[in-house]
Structure 1
Amino acid sequence: MTKQALLVMDVQQVVVDRYPDPGYLPRLGTAIDAARTAGVPVIYAVVGFRPGYPEVSTRNKMFGALALRGPAAGGDDATRIHPDVAPEPGDVVVTKRRVSAFAGSDLDLVLRAGDIGHLVLTGVATSGVVLSTLRQAADLDFGLTVLSDGCLDADPEVHRVLTEKVFPQQADVTTVAAWAAAT
């Protein structure tokens, strides 16, 4: 059987605070607990930059405004994972520089070193990190599962279309409860 890992993406406090859903973190916690209990590695991906944002071009529509801010950086507060789903010893945290969890991070190296061939995706936002990571992971020949209620988006209709129509073309889509019960 192919070894799997649970990816928990962009659940930094500053990100989660912008998506008010009181049930999201408890559901995500259920997935994380199930993974740890089953011995499935939990890997967190956070977006982060060096002081002064040297990785960010002003041409980048999503992150370019950061580069214009100058030398100040978000620091630890910007990359702090929400305490309700914080990493534990043994969990891996990778820092990415763009939307996909693979972009500018050492995620692929960590996965290959761990002989992981299947990824279980969760995170904020469905239309951002989850979509971008899913597409790149599929192109890298990883098996994929998306936990539909382990993802969150500002637009419920976009979330629905992605999880019901787009993601099933490249991934199995299930719920946290169903995945936890099967793990």
Structure 2
Amino acid sequence: MSNTALLVMDIQKGIVGRIAAPDYLPRLAQAVEAARNAGIPVLHVVVGFRSGHPEAADGNKMFGALPEGAFTPEDPDAAIHPDIAPRLDEVVITKKRVSAFAGSDLEMVLRAGGFTHLVLAGVATSGVVLSTCRQAADLDYRLTVLADGCADADEEVHRVLTEKVFPRQAEVTSVEEWTKAVG
């Protein structure tokens, strides 16, 4: 599994707080711990901007409308949730758009590390997971999506993506099945 990396995406306090399922973070923590125990690097992907949001154009419907100070270094809600906190030796990638690749150095880190298989988890299924899955597939990465390691405010959208869309480009499995396979 030395060519595999687990991408844990947008597990920031202000984003995870929108997910109602109380079992989501403990389940995701199991995946992170299983990866660490198996020697699979965990890469943490966060959305972040400079103060004043110079990277967010006014015309960008999602990011141009952010409140002043949101997802900046001063914003406590931009921090990675403590249940999934990165270890000192784990890479944190900061992105400027929805996809983990957009406005970040993710691809450089993946290529330098020789990673060819990405395991995806995060919030939201219809946001960062979908955008990253599509772009990673176009970049020829082998993909696994942890269906219950992803969450979305719209459960039907989550279901359609994990059952009908993602299987076209990725293996879709559960955290439990994946942890058994890597353990």
TM-score by length of 2: 0.95
- Root-mean-square deviation (Å): 1.2
Q: Following TM superposition, by how much is the alpha carbon of 1:117 offset from its aligned partner in structure 2, in angstroms?
A: 0.3
Any idea what the Cα deviations from partners look like across 1:63-116, whole Å, max 9, x if unmatched?
A: 1113xx55x454241420000111112111000000000000100011001000
Gaps of 5+ in 2: none
Give the letter aligned to residue 120 of structure 1.
V
Specify the alignment match of 2:46 in structure 1: 46
Runs ≥4 residues deviating over 2 A: 72-76
The CA distance in 2 between the partners of 1:35 and 1:147, in whole Å, is: 12
Any idea what the Cα deviations from partners look like across 1:22-59, whole Å, max 9, x if unmatched?
A: 00001000000000000000000000000110100011
Specify the alignment match of 2:172 in structure 1: 173
Specify the alignment match of 2:9 in structure 1: 9
The CA distance in 1 between the partners of 2:59 and 2:22, in whole Å, is: 35
Gaps of 5+ in 1: none
Question: Within 5 Å, which residues of 2 pair with 1:66-105?
Answer: 66=66, 69=67, 72=69, 74=72, 75-105=74-104
Specify the alignment match of 1:126 in structure 2: 125
The CA distance in 1 between the partners of 2:32 and 2:134, in whole Å, is: 23
The CA distance in 1 between the partners of 2:106 and 2:147, in whole Å, is: 22
Give the letter aligned to residue 83 of structure 2.
D
SS at match of 1:65: coil
* 2:29 is the alignment partner of 1:29: yes
Residue identity over aligned pairs, in percent, reads 65
Q: Following TM superposition, by how much is the alpha carbon of 1:18 offset from its aligned partner in structure 2, in angstroms?
A: 1.1
Judged with a 3 Å threshold, the aligned counterparts in structure 2 of structure 1 residues 124 and 87 are, in CA distance, closer, same or farther, namely: same
Judged with a 3 Å threshold, the aligned counterparts in structure 2 of structure 1 residues 171 and 2 are, in CA distance, closer, same or farther, namely: farther
SS at match of 1:64: coil
TM-score by length of 1: 0.95
Q: Following TM superposition, by how much is the alpha carbon of 1:2 offset from its aligned partner in structure 2, in angstroms?
A: 6.5
